[in-house]
């Protein structure tokens, strides 16, 4: 399956528990320029709540989220 959203960087946080996927994503977003898209892969079910809240509070745009077989994928556009 091809990615529906083109990403500028990808972070694999599989196997990490809350809050590590979000913390690593924040660090990665800090390195990226405004407008860049970060794709995050996580296996922690709590990451759905975390990434939705983070995008809303930080002002980043959660372009898409997917879940398939316990693997969560998020595409975040940095403001």
Catalytic center residues = 18
Euclidean distance between CA atoms 72 and 45, whole angstroms? 8
């Amino acid at each position: 399956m091809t990615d529906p959203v083109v990403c500028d960087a990808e972070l694999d946080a599989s196997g990490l528990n809350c809050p590590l996927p979000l913390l690593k994503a924040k660090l990665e977003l800090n390195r990226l320029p405004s407008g860049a898209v970060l794709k995050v892969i996580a296996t922690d079910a709590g990451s759905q709540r975390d990434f939705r809240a983070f995008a809303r509070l930080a002002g980043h745009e959660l372009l898409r989220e997917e879940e398939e077989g316990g693997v969560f994928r998020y595409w975040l556009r940095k403001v």
